[in-house]
Amino acid sequence: MRAQDLRPAIWIGHVALETDRLEESAQFMHTIGMRPVHKGSDVAIFELRGGTHLILIAKSEIVPADAPFDLMVEDLRATHQRFTSLGLAPSPIQVLPSIDHELFRVREPAGHLITFYSNHSSKNPV
């Protein structure tokens, strides 16, 4: 008999980010730890924990801004150190006690600013 699946019934399937530097943005996502799934001339797809997919969409012109999503990592301080050693110039770590998170930001090659949060998943399966 199969054990009862205690994970939530839904999750984020896809998030998208437009880029005018597809090759560089794709390399960046791979470097920070995303799993490449598909690379085409106008789209690149990466898999994240939980099965979520990031879809990079090539556009000739974009307006760099805050990414329309944020990311969460298991060990924020180790990730910050790793990104620093890779020359990705993460912002200093900020502590946000009001939401029980720490965060830093990194600019990806097309200019979007991505926020990385510390993990605070529940003790339940996700």
Mean pLDDT by 10 residues, the chain (126 residues): 74 96 98 97 95 96 96 95 98 91 97 94 72
pLDDT attached to residue 11: 87
Domains and CATH numbers, the chain: 14-118 (3.10.180.10)
Q: How far is CA 22 from CA 28, 42, 58, in A?
A: 10, 7, 6
Single pTM value for the model: 0.90
- What's the 3-state SS for 10-32? CCCCEEEEEECCHHHHHHHHHHH
Torsion sign (Cα): 92, 44, 41, 19: negative
Tokens of 107: 């600019």
